[in-house]
Amino acid sequence: MTGFAHTLAPVIENVGLARGTYRLRVHAPALAQAIRPGQFVMLRLPDSSDPLLGRPFALYDTYLDEHHQPAGIDIVYLVVGKLTGLLAHVHSGDRVALWGPLGNGFPALPALEHLALVAGGIGQTPFLAYLRELLGTRGYGGDAPRRRVDRVSLYYGVRTQELAAGIEDFRTAGATVHLASDDGSLGFKGFVTQLLAQHDAPQHLVGCGPEPMLKALANLAQRWTVPCHLSLETPMACGLGICFSCVTRVRTADGWDYKRVCVEGPIFEAAQLIWE
Amino acid sequence: MDLSVTLGRLTLRNPILVASGTFGYAREMASVVDFARLGGIIPKTVTSQPRQGNPPPRTVETASGMLNAIGLDNDGLTHFLHHHLPYLRTLPTAIIVNIAGKTEDEFVHMAEQLAPHEGAAAVELNLSCPNVSGGVDFAIDPIVTRRVVQRVRQVCPLPVLAKLTPNVTNLVPIAAAAAEAGADAVSLVNTFVGMAIDWRRRRPILGNITGGLSGPAIKPLALRAVWQVARQVAIPILGVGGIATSDDVMEFLLAGASAVQLGTVNFYDPTACQRVAEELPRCLEHLGAASVREVVGTLRLPGS
């Protein structure tokens, strides 16, 4: 965990992207220079004991200053509870407590022709920075940009069109975007994994979203015999590995054990996971 | 300013410790906190055998607090002695090893196994974890508490701290039993048993149904427990329960704690322990004190 920072970060902007969905930009240079795609930060409203705990948010992307140096980070969040409800009312100039970078981040991959990112609901948020890293348009954690994958597809499913957030960001960053919605209001009508199954298998799959979607993706990956990594989200108190709250069941040499999603994840190989 | 404190046979650089179960095995915090600022670190409870812990969800936030039911997830004493203790003993602060046994004998055997290893400044007996199904909450009973402490003292030359549960009608006789049995200090208090319900799903939120409440919500309760025991039992006290700021620390010192443990705050304000330790001298100066010791238990009561 090099480059760790715990700061009171000024909010630059907090803009609506979709129904109940916002992009928060905070000034945090040390954090922005260290963080890598797939890692996350803990965010807390300072001077509040209710909500008391921070919440984990994936890096959406870093933003650069006029000298093209990372100046801060963007997170994209959906209002689902107490903290995100309050966060939606945060303004430019307010401060939020932040700590990170946290978690293992997406794996380094061999050179690939085609990789598919598969997102459900608010699960698209870790993928923008990863997409830019894979296509070599942005370097992270002090690394120079280097293209690793020829072609990246984003399969993105939402309940309904109004909840789709950031599609233009992904297109602009170079992904081929395939959309699905439960009610058919956007793209394919049905689950994103059903849409994906109609296409040819990519060489690698990376997924983030609700657990039923991740299970379906893990099954598809197994059927296709394609390596698959999943980014998990579990309730977390600290993000640092000290509370042992956020565990998930992971296969071990002699059966299984609970592993902390915050430090041993949030990215796991799909085949390692044991679903409840 | 003399920040050092003495708890029986244990002397610490300053009175700011981090509580068991809220600081991992310290290595997780190596890039977060300067350990040399702390009076001591109490790593996560170790049990005799590895335990997978309780099914998730293991924690849930409540008003100004949280419930946890981790279930003593740990890799067992052998792993601790060979993997964690060699790292912990290199840290520039006191390490107090927290152990929990399922039986009295287990406490005794664990203390015996720990004793010859270098690196532990003291042992804290977790007599009070509320989350171990089938386990016994030893510290609800003064007789059992006395026996466990006595037997651990016989086999283990390290200073012994007894961490007690507040889930009793009266803590005083239990703290007195620990004192009579030769405990160097008592840690007051472990979490308060509570629960949270999702009424829409008609289900308890925690996988374990009940859990231990911690955080700022319990600070007044912990403060009262410390004050009550300090008045009636002659034993040094480590105050623990919702302590998050240097103001909180001062309140516990005045109530009668000789040192404190910061717990849940490590989760939501990970550099708090260091900041509190840095702020403490100024708070002591405010009272005209030149040492921590001279403010302990100096609360002025009405009419005095």
Cis peptide before B204 (omega within 30 of 0): no
pLDDT of residue A1: 45
Residues of B in contact with A1 (CB under 8 A): 30-32
Span B5-53+71-195+213-286 CATH architecture: Alpha-Beta Barrel (3.20)
pLDDT of residue B148: 96
pTM score, whole prediction: 0.96
Quick count: other Cβ atoms within 10 Å of Cβ A193?
A: 23
pLDDT of residue B136: 56
% chain B with pLDDT above 90: 94
Tens-place pLDDT, residues A70-83? 999 999 999 999 99
pLDDT band at B169 (very low <50, low <70, confident <90, very high): very high
Tens-place pLDDT, residues B200-228? 999 999 999 999 999 999 999 999 999 99
Res. B132: pLDDT tops 80: no
Residue B77 sits at the chain A interface (C-beta within 8 Å): no
pLDDT of residue A47: 85
Among A223, A246, A251, A248, residue whose Cα is nearest residue A236: A246
**Domain locations in chain B as residue ranges:** 5-53+71-195+213-286
Cis peptide before A101 (omega within 30 of 0): yes
φ, ψ at B145 (rounded to 5°):
-60, -45
Can you list the alpha helix ranges (DSSP code H) found in A79-210? 82-87, 127-135, 167-172, 192-197
ipTM, 2 dp: 0.96
Burial code (b: 16+ CB inside 10 Å, e: under 16) for A98-127 equals bbbbbbbbbeeeeebeebbbbbbbbbbbbb
Do A237 and B53 count as a contact with CB atoms less than 8 A apart? no
Return the residue matching tokens 């700590």: A99
Find the mean pLDDT for residues B270-284: 98
Do A243 and B63 count as a contact with CB atoms less than 8 A apart? no
From CA B211, how far away is CA B70, in angstroms rounded? 8
Question: Measuring CA to CA, how many Å separate A120 from each of A67, A180, A231, B114?
Answer: 35, 9, 11, 49
- Amino acid of residue A32: A
Domains of chain A are: 5-102 (2.40.30.10), 112-233 (3.40.50.80)
The minimum CA-CA distance between B267 and chain A, rounded to whole Å, is 4
pLDDT of residue A276: 78
Given a cut of 50, the residues of chain A with pLDDT beneath it are 1
The minimum CA-CA distance between B56 and chain A, rounded to whole Å, is 7
Tens-place pLDDT, residues A188-245? 999 999 999 999 999 999 999 999 999 999 999 999 999 999 999 999 999 999 999 9
| Catalytic (active site) residue B156 | no
Tens-place pLDDT, residues B85-106? 999 999 999 999 999 999 999 9
pLDDT of residue A190: 98
Can you list the alpha helix ranges (DSSP code H) found in chain B? 77-79, 85-88, 104-114, 142-155, 172-180, 219-232, 246-255, 265-268, 272-286
pLDDT of residue B130: 64
